[in-house]
Structure 1
Amino acid sequence: MIESKTLGSAAGVQYQGVIDKSETTPLPSLANGVIAGRFKRGRMDKPFKVTASNYKALLGHDPSNPSYLAVEDAFKRGISEVSILRTGGIGDAGIKCVANFAEMSLPSSDLEVVPDGFVTVSRNGGEFKTYKLPPSGDGADFFEEAYFSSDGKKIIFFDYPYGAGQLPDSNKEAICGIDSEGMVLTPDQGAINLMDLELFAGHSKITPPYTLTKQHNWLTFKPTEGVSPANDMFFTMIGGDSGASTITIHSCAVIERYIDPNVCMPNGAEILYMNGQNEPTGDLYGRYRVDGGEWVDYTAPADYYLVNEFLRHTGVMQSQGGGGISPFQFNVNSRGGYLYGAAAQEPYVDGQDGVVEIKRTTVDFEITDGGANDLVQLLFGGNISVSSCAVGSWYGV
């Protein structure tokens, strides 16, 4: 029998000699790990965790990427979860952050019927989502997700209308990214410093001072499948035509209202109840607590049902109408309503015209089971907390 390191086609035993691995560092079978690298998907502001069952969906399948292969190898070695620190990206994520804007030509305001619109967009390299935009655009999920952070009080992109004065039969708009100094470049006025302006986040006005955080976000638009160009927001953008595949807007900073932790900030809530819609039958119930105290379970028969009665039951609110003194003011009508907390120093809450005493009050509302007779679900659509900083005097409307 032949023993050789180079047998070739001969019969025998081929051996490679002794391989010394004593100087290598094998990957241990750990319970978890941390990998920093570039990936197609995932947040970039802080680390996040992936598991063997979801890493392909969260990171994007990318077998040619060494960082992605390192994650795969870790799970093959038995690691249960990996913390990912996304240091850069592939494609858009690898681009140096330079803020830009996209211009749009909106439908003429003279049209008797403005059709519904659609937009298909990806945020930060994630999956593309298609949104239906009502004619007014108000309350559209796209604007909430794309322009603001999840809390609705941080501005990521700036919605800038322009051109109505020069073109009375139409209007133009731009989605502007914010640069790292808080400036946006607008199509008609040049650079505007957002740090000096009063801004709107969601449905709330936020006033200076602000904090600015350098953070790269980008929106990538593409044509919506199965939708006519006349109804697709992509084709209202300059550069959005049949020959273009995508349009990308970059923002390099996030602006949010600075809140001094030592200063009380009142807030409120929109009341969603609409008369004649999903009217409950049987006993109604609602849970609340005041200033972190014991939870109170409120019950009332449906024939006694009044939104006002439930809110009055907290002991800190009065209905709107003839004016009065209370930490909160609320108004409910057949189309919904609102709930406001009093401001402490210079009253700026709608309906408040003075301060009686400085007093902090917080009311927490909690869903019991989310059924049709749950007052918290009916009024607010979910758990919510409202705060007041004073006992205010309110005028009637």
Structure 2
Amino acid sequence: MVEFRVVEGPEAFDAAVRALGDGEGPIAVDAERASGFRYSQRAYLIQMYRRGAGTFLFDPPTIPDFSPLQGVIADEEWVLHAASQDLACLREVGLDPSHIFDTELGARLLGMPRVGLASVVEELLGIKLAKEHSAADWSTRPLPDSWLTYAALDVELLVDVRDRLGERLAEASKAEIATQEFDAVLHKDAKPPAAEPWRRLSGLHSIRHARNLAVARALWIARDSHASQIDVAPGRLVPDASLVAAAKALPRTKRALADLREFTGRASRSEIDRWWAAIEEGLATDDLPALRVPSDAPPPPRGWASRHPDADARLRLAKAAVGEVAEQMDMPVENLLTPDHLRRLAWRPPADASSAGIRDALAKLGARPWQLDATAQIIADAFVKAAQSVEDASAEAS
């Protein structure tokens, strides 16, 4: 039976801080959010485990200041599984590690076929973890005992997993690679806010006219504003598909909107005045959105062969070469080199397409030193072959 202490309020918090400070070795950390239920991505439970200290489940809404805990553990190694998913909500409460070990990423670098926590624990430790509460509403209070036990198990075995992965990474000569990757995750810049976040509306690509887009935009903004105010996930009010259906139909009266069969959701009728006001705004505005947004990203590669044969040849040959290296290194190709980096490089190669020029271009895109060592030369060679193949094809055609 897993043992843990739920930390609610200042007295329990101070005791937990002292215990974790007196523990030894890395600290396993996890966080539970209420994605799909709440608008915010805040942590509603933070779990920590350290050898010699035990397992603690912190209830963030009852703890006004995490800085004493941060002061005690900031310089220790934190062990997280899929760290990129939790770092933002941890930082939101003032918890920010100086270095990490990401067990999911470590498993990927080792080429493990399944990298979910339950699968990794089973393969490395021979223990089966139940994952029945992974999609629960963690903003629920009080939290059921079964949920708390599940949350505790997520960190109780994490340090053991870290040790086994560390051994395997060292045996595979991938310890330095892992260190660079963990550091990249830790220091990755947060994405800047989208200029037009409403364009993330699922199904928006099916709308073909600016007026319909204006209605979709107004509906999205109205839903987002209301969802933020009441801290409910927007899709639980009215799903994306319903907003898109209303934007396509362009109902001319509130009754027509209410009668629209595709306009569903728990707030589709109770907030009908809100949605109708948004539709009226979209129908009346002179500020019509552009149908297409300029982007510096390359066009989809499926059209390169006929329109841009040189870029197609570069991508095709370089992709095959990088795939071979990934297979030799026994890791997913996307971990060897971000696919978007290779697409951008093939679409617009540097003026200096030598190995040094490729290294510089990839470094500017964010590739790590070990990735440059593994791929720069083979990409440069592939680009040379691509240029020759295009030249030979042109000569044959003439």
What TM-score comes out, normalization by structure 2 length?
Answer: 0.22
Higher relative contact order (CA 8 A, sep 6+): 2
What TM-score comes out, normalization by structure 1 length?
Answer: 0.22
Q: Which has the higher helix share?
A: 2
**Which structure has the greater CA radius of gyration?**
1
